[in-house]
């Protein structure tokens, strides 16, 4: 019997992840999540279900949250992908990350990277969300441990911090 690979052959895909351009050669059926984790070493996004039902793989694509497990890598050609690894600046955490620590916005932490990414995207789009807006924006992220009350507190606290004008006054 002849040795055969299944599926179409690998294709080149150019990705821009956290501002770093890279090219991968992948099977067209590979998801963004799989390429991030298995080809590029971004392990922050998790595979909680693989069906777009839990939100643990949430990343930001061109400014909007997507489920990494439902997004094909080839569809991300030339687009901007941001992951949990890209929102902090070296040792400096993003205000949303700081707030999650300060308000205990997690328990086991497995869903946390997805929760943080949903919160970051929300605050970039709507810097002054109400509690209800936070709940709706984050309704795609399951936290089985039930950290929700503290997650909401974290996001609202981060919004308040981000709202403070930088550099000591209004421009």
Partner 1 sequence: MPTIRRTKVEFEGRIEEREVIVEEEHVVPWERGHQMRLVGKPVPRVDGVARVTGRATYTHDVQLPGMLVGRFLRSPHAHARVTAIDDGEARALPGVFGIWHRFSPPEVGGLDGRELFPEELFYEGAEVAFVVARDRRTLGDALAAMDVGYEVLPAVQDFESATAEGAPEAAMGASNWITPDGSIYERGSVAAGLAAAAAVVELDFTTQVAAHCCMETHGSAARWEGDLLTLWHSTQSVFGTRSSIAGALDIPMDKVRVISDYIGGGFGSKWGAEPFTLMAALAARATGRPVWAMLSREEEQLVAGYRPGSRQRVRLGAMADGTLTLIEQEARVTTGAHGGGGHVIGGPAKDLYACDNVRTAVWAARTNVDSARAFRAPGYVEGTFALESAIDALAGELGLDPLDLRFRNYTETSPSRGQAYSDKRLREAYELGAERIGWRDRHEKVRQEGPWRRGWGMASQIWGGGGGPPANAIVKLLPDGTAEVMVGVQDIGTGTRTVLSQVAAEELGLPMESVRCVLGDTLPTPFGPGSGGSVTLASASPAVRSACREAQRQLVALAAVMMELEDVPVDRFDVVEDEIVYADDPAKRLPLREATAKMGNYMIVAKGARGPNPDDRAVNTFGAHFAQVMVNTETGELKVERIVAAHDIGRVVNPMTATSQVYGGVIFGLGFATTEQRVIDPGTGLQLTANLEDYKVPLGIDVPKIDVLFVDEADVSANSVGSKGLGEPPIIPTAAAIANAVCDAVGVRVTDLPITPDRLLPLLQQEVMP
- Footprint of partner 1 on this chain (CB under 8 A)? 1, 3-7, 27, 29-30, 34, 38, 41-51, 53-54, 56, 83-85, 88, 93, 97, 100-102, 104, 106-113, 116, 134-136, 138-139, 141-152
What's the closest the beta carbon of residue 59 comes to partner 1, in angstroms?
A: 11
What's the closest the beta carbon of residue 102 comes to partner 1, in angstroms?
A: 6
Q: Which of 44, 157, 65 is nearest to 111 (CA)?
A: 44
Which residue lies nearer to partner 1 by CB, 6 or 64? Answer: 6
What's the closest the beta carbon of residue 135 comes to partner 1, in angstroms?
A: 5
Which residue lies nearer to partner 1 by CB, 89 or 168? Answer: 89
Which residue lies nearer to partner 1 by CB, 71 or 150? Answer: 150
What's the closest the beta carbon of residue 45 comes to partner 1, in angstroms?
A: 7
What's the closest the beta carbon of residue 167 comes to partner 1, in angstroms?
A: 25
Q: Retrieve residue 116's tokens.
A: 């943080």
Which residue lies nearer to partner 1 by CB, 75 or 78? Answer: 75
User: Rounded distance, CA 115 to CA 119, Å?
Assistant: 6
């Amino acid at each position: 019997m002849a040795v055969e690979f299944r599926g179409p052959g690998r294709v080149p895909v150019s990705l821009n992840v956290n501002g770093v351009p890279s090219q991968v050669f992948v099977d067209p059926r590979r998801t963004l999540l799989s390429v991030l984790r298995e080809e590029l070493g971004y392990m922050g996004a998790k595979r909680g279900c693989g069906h777009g039902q839990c939100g643990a793989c949430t990343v930001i694509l061109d400014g909007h949250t997507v489920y990494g497990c439902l997004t094909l890598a080839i569809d991300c050609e030339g687009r901007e992908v941001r992951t949990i690894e890209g929102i902090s600046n070296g040792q400096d955490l993003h205000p949303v990350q700081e707030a999650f620590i300060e308000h205990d916005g997690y328990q086991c932490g497995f869903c946390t990277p997805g929760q943080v990414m949903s919160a970051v995207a929300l605050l970039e789009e709507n810097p002054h969300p109400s509690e209800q807006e936070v709940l709706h924006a984050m309704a795609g992220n399951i936290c089985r441990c039930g950290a929700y009350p503290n997650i909401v507190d974290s996001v609202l606290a981060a919004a308040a911090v981000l709202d403070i004008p930088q550099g000591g006054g209004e421009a």
